[in-house]
A and B are shown apart, each in its own frame.
Chain A
Amino acid sequence: MTPAMDLHQYRAPQGGYDEAFDAAGEARPCWSVAKQAVGSMETSALLERQRDADRLLDAEGAGHLVHELAFERAIDRHGVSASARVESRPWRLDPLPFVIDAAEFAVLSNAAIQRMRLLEALLVDCAGERQLVRDGVLPAALLYSLPSFRAHTAGFAPPRWLVHYAVDVVRAADGRWRIVHDLTDAPSGLGYSLLNRAVLARLLPDGLRAAGAAPISAHADRLRRSLTASAPADRPSPRAVVLSSGPAHPTYVEHSYLATRLGYHLVEGADLVMREGRLWLRALDGLEPIDVVYRRVEDALLDPLEHGHQGGGSGVPGIVWGARSGHLALANAYGSGLAEARELRPYMGAIAERLLGDRLQLEQLEAGAALATMPVFTGLGDRVLEPRAVVLRLQVLNGPDGHFVMLGGAGRVLADGDAPEWPTAHLAKDVWVVGTTAPRPVAVMAPPQVDFGPSVPKRAADALYWLGRSAERAEVAVRAARVVGVQLDQDPMLTSVGDGGWALGAGALLAAARNEPVPVTPELPLNARLTASLQATVSVAAQQLASLVQEASSVREYLSKTTGRVLGRLAMAHNLLLDDDAPSDELDSVLVDLAALAGLVMESTVRGPAWRFLDLGRRIERALAVLGSVEGALGADAPPMALQPLADAVLAANESLVAYRRRYRSDVDLDALLDLLLRDDSNPRGLAFQLDRLREHVAALAWSQGVQLVQQASAAAIAEIDDAVVSGRRVSLDGYVLAVRGPLLALADAIGQHWFADPVNPTMMGGF
């Protein structure tokens, strides 16, 4: 029986401030709001809410993007071992919100704005007059020793140093709020806040409404307006991008989410190039000018020309110089990281007095200070609600109408012994500001940015293309393993049928599904060979799922929300396939998920170049798979006893068995089978159908080389296949496969060369 949860089970520590109960043990009004919003405080109800929250976060992409895949064995197509990627942890969302009264939040909000103004003034001074240094407020010896002080920013005068600022604050045990740390370089947390709120709004729609929590979703629009406002003056309709260092970045989930919310391209360093003083995006149709970069890449990795040998080769060479010359805006400006340096904290009070003529509204948290607590749902142990400290991250924008603090934020729960700057619990609370009388934000139309609809960064097209190929390869491997496994389960004697002809053909079918030549291991008995081959095929499927998820995570903004959920399931399936010995049920559910993915790609993806490249990858891979399965299973002249089950296997592997039976209602006839798989343009699993789609794609891309190669493949695909057998092979079938496969492989090569070749990471030239 689940113990009933009531407030008496929550014990706030003695002597410290608690957000839920005052010193007399009376519930504070904000806690009552939180409690009412959640409704039932039964453990089982809370657990269910948390599960729902997990599922919703997963659907938003937080699942597959940060999923801890067992990637150790996976090597991506760039030859980079995925285990080298930084591990990012998923977080869970406490269904209990952190409720703050509007009057109290206003105090925090004013303090955050003061802090942002202070840091902006600090940056202006350090790059300009250096009055702080001249007056002895800030020792030059300290300033010039900070790695985050970019001495070469002297003379920089960006229109805005900070467009976006975040600050962590926490209530100490004495009840007063303190500053934990500033985030000025590439402040994170805004996307997480929006994500968390989106989840709680689904989870507790009535509670949210009844509590009257201030909405925060308009903050993304405000960010867009602020970014637009930071553009160089002569760009009335500026183009902006979100710059990320890629899926290995610990806050990549947020990069991807914000790009989607802002409607900007999510780009990486290699997607951009500086030329003629302007910044350009490498898109499929050529270079497109960029005016504003919302950078999620820290100062130290932004420009290899600036950071010399310290940052490796990442970043965009020359981007800092371009920003200095005023041809593009970086938000935040290069060098902003200085303002968050912890070494400056002891001087902040004096700096505020010197630059603002004002006292700091919030003081710095002393190291080791005791913190206030609040009830946190951990779902562990007897006491379901634990008293924990929660650090609150506020988001501030400097936009066209001044400084503005988002009426909400992300609460980050501290585990025992955590430094407030670095919570390890991976548990978040959505922050609700209640009792606000502020007028609802008026929607101001920002000038639209130039329509990016048809443009796709090369790197994104590349990833989408490989996403299509991996999805198809995974499906081919899973289906082949399943078909052969089922045949073997139903009739274990099959291995000896037709002098082992079935086993040889089935082995070759599996090898083709793995994209391998037919294995020659005569020392093993046939059934052992087949078992090994089945396992190898399943692990190839798992590898392909891993690269599918990996490719998808870098182009999340092109995929629908529901797609995110399917990807989360596939990421989990990947782990199961690696672990399970007899995964035939699992294989079925993977096929269902892959079918769901394929369906979403067809039904929920806007038909543009992005979709086209995804589908190109899929069609090429499927065409190759049809050829491989026919060649593998039917290329050898198997005895008649073996031919029937092999033909069934090929048809099933290409999901055409049912179609065949409905059409021919007969035992398998080889000519009819080949006709259905190779020439029938109404069979969506057949070769002819794939060639038709490929023809449409290359025509739409107006790409003559592609058109020629597809024509060659199509011409070869209508050749006749006769019964001639030489040395045990159906030579006519072998010749047919070779003739069609050649131009298809050439097409795959040409796509890479023609469409994706450009973006490469910059290389440092050797020094001396």
Chain B
Amino acid sequence: MRTFRVMHRTEYTYGTAMSDGFTVARLLPRNTPLQTVRHAAIDVSPIPDEWEESLDPFGNRVVHFAVHHPHFSLTVVSHAEVGLDTGELPTGEVPWQHVAATAAAARGDLAADVAPFLAHTAQTPPLAAVGDLTGDIFTEGRGVIGAVQHLCNRIFTGFQFDASFSDLSTPMHAVLAERRGVCQDFAHVSCAALRSVGLPARYVSGYIETVPLPGEPKLVGVDASHAWCSVWAGEFGWIDFDPTNNQMPPLRHVTLGWGRDYDDVAPVRGVVIGPPSGQSLHVAVDVSEVF
């Protein structure tokens, strides 16, 4: 097991004093079969007047906090230390259609916990262009692991990482048309593609290690939050893959949480009340391995 430390700092500065600020933060990592959270905490400045922690419907850790006195800035810093086991791909295979059929016919807990990730949402719509992406991959009888690996590779090679192209409001059809975007876009495309063939897919929010290993290039997406995708592969359970870096399974990825799309798991969502003014946002993320 390897140990990683994460620091994620978000700082909003307002042009004038805000009287109230409300924030929902999904910045505390959750435990997963491969990830053990040893320590996680959030520091907020100014000190919030209200604070409540809970779990959301997908089991992610959520903090609601609010500031009710005049403040010119809001700084949210999270620190976490997690232990990661390296995931390994299953050695066997199962036809993807079997998996899709199982998901479609799910009852009981499987229906309640897995089937929701079959749903197309506003951020992961069932566009025709998504079908172009999957058509020759999800062929009759093909194994689900191999097919997903193929999809991951196709997105990695077919799309260009371009932080200047998209932001949170860029719709998926633009990403598909221009073949450009960032990790959130590629995770959304992956989810939409898998769901369009009937495979449950999660959007995963998290981080990737900052410092490259000796002799390896620095990975993309290190200076901010990262996002990737997880597919439900029937008897093999959930298997993560990172289309931005063409890694399956991912190797140095710290998971915060998952949902149907970005909106389900936005790391920080906030609203302020105060006179109209400009605001600036500064984000810094640092992830490193502890030896």
Q: What is the interface of chain A, defined by CB distance below 8 A to chain B?
A: 130, 133-136, 139-145, 147, 151-152, 154-155, 273-277, 304-305, 308-310, 313, 317-318, 321, 325, 758, 760, 762-768
A321 vs B260: C-alpha distance when bound (angstroms): 21
Within 8 Å by CB of B112, from A130, A151, A277, A313, lies A130
A144-B260, A765-B279 are known contacts. Are A277 and B115 too (CB-CB below 8 A)?
no
A313 touches B68 (CB 8 A): no
Proximity bits, B244-259, A CB within 8 Å = 1, else 0: 0000000000000001
| B122 CB–A CB distance under 8 Å | yes
B118 touches A317 (CB 8 A): no
What residues of chain A lie closer than 8 Å to B74, measured between beta carbons? 765
A3 vs B115: C-alpha distance when bound (angstroms): 67
Within 8 Å by CB of A145, from B105, B121, B259, lies B121
Interface of A is mostly: loop
Chain A-chain B contacts (Cβ-Cβ < 8 Å), number: 136
Which residues 94-119 in B have Cβ within 8 Å of A in the complex? 104-109, 111-112, 115-119
A280 vs B90: C-alpha distance when bound (angstroms): 56
What residues of chain A lie closer than 8 Å to B133, measured between beta carbons? none
What residues of chain B lie closer than 8 Å to A142, measured between beta carbons? 119
Which residues 252-272 in B have Cβ within 8 Å of A in the complex? 259-260, 263-264, 266-272
What residues of chain A lie closer than 8 Å to B195, measured between beta carbons? 141
A304 vs B269: C-alpha distance when bound (angstroms): 9
Within 8 Å by CB of A151, from B57, B106, B267, lies B57
What residues of chain A lie closer than 8 Å to B49, measured between beta carbons? 275-276
What residues of chain A lie closer than 8 Å to B162, measured between beta carbons? none
| B140 CB–A CB distance under 8 Å | no
B116 touches A152 (CB 8 A): no
Within 8 Å by CB of A765, from B12, B20, B104, B263, lies B12
A273 vs B69: C-alpha distance when bound (angstroms): 13
**In the complex, which residue of chain A has the Cβ closest to the Cβ of B260?**
A144
Within 8 Å by CB of A766, from B58, B66, B267, B279, lies B279
Give 9 CB contacts A-B under 8 Å.
Answer: A133-B112, A141-B116, A144-B116, A151-B264, A305-B22, A763-B279, A765-B74, A766-B281, A768-B225
Within 8 Å by CB of A274, from B22, B106, B169, lies B22
What residues of chain A lie closer than 8 Å to B168, measured between beta carbons? 309, 767-768
Interface centre among B10, B74, B115 (most CB of A within 10 A): B115
Proximity bits, B163-177, A CB within 8 Å = 1, else 0: 000001100000000
Q: What is the interface of chain B, defined by CB distance below 8 A to chain A?
A: 10, 12, 19-24, 49-50, 52, 56-58, 64, 66, 68, 74, 104-109, 111-112, 115-122, 168-169, 195, 224-225, 259-260, 263-264, 266-276, 279, 281, 283
B68 touches A143 (CB 8 A): no
The 7 A-B pairs at the shortest CB distance, nearest first, are namely A140-B115, A154-B57, A144-B119, A765-B270, A141-B118, A145-B119, A317-B271
A136 touches B111 (CB 8 A): yes
A277 vs B51: C-alpha distance when bound (angstroms): 10
What residues of chain A lie closer than 8 Å to B276, measured between beta carbons? 760, 763
What residues of chain B lie closer than 8 Å to A135, measured between beta carbons? 107
**In the complex, which residue of chain A has the Cβ closest to the Cβ of B285?**
A768
B291 CB, nearest partner CB in chain A, Å: 30
**In the complex, which residue of chain A has the Cβ closest to the Cβ of B200?**
A141
A275 touches B20 (CB 8 A): yes
A764 vs B268: C-alpha distance when bound (angstroms): 11
A136-B107, A141-B119, A147-B122 are known contacts. Are A764 and B271 too (CB-CB below 8 A)?
yes
A152 vs B58: C-alpha distance when bound (angstroms): 9
What residues of chain A lie closer than 8 Å to B10, measured between beta carbons? 768
What residues of chain B lie closer than 8 Å to A140, measured between beta carbons? 106, 111-112, 115-116, 118-119
A762 touches B64 (CB 8 A): no
A272 vs B194: C-alpha distance when bound (angstroms): 43
A767 vs B122: C-alpha distance when bound (angstroms): 17
**In the complex, which residue of chain B has the Cβ closest to the Cβ of A761?**
B273
A134 vs B121: C-alpha distance when bound (angstroms): 21
What residues of chain A lie closer than 8 Å to B52, measured between beta carbons? 321, 325
A321 touches B270 (CB 8 A): no
What residues of chain A lie closer than 8 Å to B64, measured between beta carbons? 318, 321
Within 8 Å by CB of A134, from B105, B108, B269, B272, lies B108
User: What 10 new A-B contacts, CB under 8 Å, besides A145-B121, A304-B271?
Assistant: A134-B112, A143-B116, A151-B116, A151-B260, A155-B57, A305-B270, A317-B273, A318-B22, A762-B22, A768-B168
A760 touches B120 (CB 8 A): no
What residues of chain B lie closer than 8 Å to A321, measured between beta carbons? 52, 64
**In the complex, which residue of chain A has the Cβ closest to the Cβ of B124?**
A145
A144 vs B260: C-alpha distance when bound (angstroms): 9
**In the complex, which residue of chain A has the Cβ closest to the Cβ of B120?**
A145
What residues of chain A lie closer than 8 Å to B273, measured between beta carbons? 273, 317, 760, 762-763
A19 vs B14: C-alpha distance when bound (angstroms): 64
Within 8 Å by CB of B169, from A154, A277, A309, lies A309
A760 touches B274 (CB 8 A): yes
A134-B112, A152-B56 are known contacts. Are A767 and B269 too (CB-CB below 8 A)?
yes
A321 vs B68: C-alpha distance when bound (angstroms): 16
A130 vs B115: C-alpha distance when bound (angstroms): 12
A395 vs B107: C-alpha distance when bound (angstroms): 37
What residues of chain A lie closer than 8 Å to B50, measured between beta carbons? 275-277
B24 touches A305 (CB 8 A): yes
A5 CB, nearest partner CB in chain B, Å: 54
Within 8 Å by CB of B271, from A145, A276, A313, lies A313
A458 vs B23: C-alpha distance when bound (angstroms): 26
A275 vs B67: C-alpha distance when bound (angstroms): 9
A64 vs B281: C-alpha distance when bound (angstroms): 45
B257 CB, nearest partner CB in chain A, Å: 13
A114 vs B140: C-alpha distance when bound (angstroms): 47
**In the complex, which residue of chain B has the Cβ closest to the Cβ of A154?**
B57
What residues of chain B lie closer than 8 Å to A141, measured between beta carbons? 104, 115-116, 118-119, 195
A142 vs B225: C-alpha distance when bound (angstroms): 30
What residues of chain A lie closer than 8 Å to B119, measured between beta carbons? 140-145
What residues of chain A lie closer than 8 Å to B274, measured between beta carbons? 760, 763
What residues of chain A lie closer than 8 Å to B275, measured between beta carbons? 760
B22 touches A317 (CB 8 A): yes
What residues of chain A lie closer than 8 Å to B22, measured between beta carbons? 274, 305, 317-318, 762
What residues of chain B lie closer than 8 Å to A767, measured between beta carbons? 168, 266, 268-269
What residues of chain A lie closer than 8 Å to B19, measured between beta carbons? 758
What residues of chain B lie closer than 8 Å to A768, measured between beta carbons? 10, 168, 224-225, 267-268, 281, 283
**In the complex, which residue of chain B has the Cβ closest to the Cβ of A321?**
B64
B127 CB, nearest partner CB in chain A, Å: 14
B271 touches A305 (CB 8 A): yes
**In the complex, which residue of chain A has the Cβ closest to the Cβ of B277?**
A763
A515 CB, nearest partner CB in chain B, Å: 25
Interface centre among A134, A152, A273, A763 (most CB of B within 10 A): A763
Within 8 Å by CB of A318, from B66, B115, B116, B283, lies B66
A130 vs B106: C-alpha distance when bound (angstroms): 13
**In the complex, which residue of chain A has the Cβ closest to the Cβ of B103?**
A141
What residues of chain B lie closer than 8 Å to A275, measured between beta carbons? 20, 49-50, 66, 68
